[in-house]
Amino acid sequence: MVFVRTLRVMSITPQELQKLLDELEASRASRRRAWENLQEIRWVLKDAARLELPPPARKTIDLEGRIVKDGVRKAIQDRQLALAELVHAIKQFRKIADSQPLTLQGSEYPQAVQELNKAIDRADGLRLR
C-alpha cells in the first residue's frame, strides 16, 4: 500500500514536467551568467588593480563569489590606504613648506619629502585614476 501511495504522489502531468524542465534550464542559465559575471570581475581586478586571485578549491559559484568579493574588498582597501597615506604626506609637506623659507627648514623637511615620495610611489603603483 505504501508503494501505491508513493506512485500517486510522484505522478505529474506532462505540463508539470515541462514546467520543471523549463525552471531547471532557467536556473542553469542563471548560474552560467553569474559565473561569467564573476569571471568578468576577476578580470577587472587583475587588469585594473593588478590583483591575481587564486582559483576556487571547487568550481562553485559560492566559493568563486567569496574569492572575488574578498578580492574586491582588498583592492578597495589598498586604494583607500594609499589615498589616506598620500593625503597625510601632502599635509605634512605643506605644513613644513609653509612654516619657513626653504633654506631655513631643518631635518623635518627631507623626511616630509621622503614620506611624500613614498606615498606618491604607492599610489602610482596602484594606478589610481
Main-chain phi, psi angles of 127, to 5 degrees: 55, 50
**Structural contact between residues 83 and 123, judged by C-beta atoms closer than 8 angstroms:** yes
Residue 1 has pLDDT above 70, yes or no: no
What domain range includes position 53?
2-125
C-alpha–C-alpha distance, residues 26 and 19, integer Å:
10
**Structural domain count of the chain:** 1
C-alpha–C-alpha distance, residues 94 and 3, integer Å:
85
pTM over 0.85: no
For the ranges 38-47, 87-96, 101-110, 115-124, the one whose mean pLDDT is highest: 38-47
- Tell me which DSSP letter residue 101 carries: -
Which one has a higher pLDDT value, 65 or 98? Answer: 65
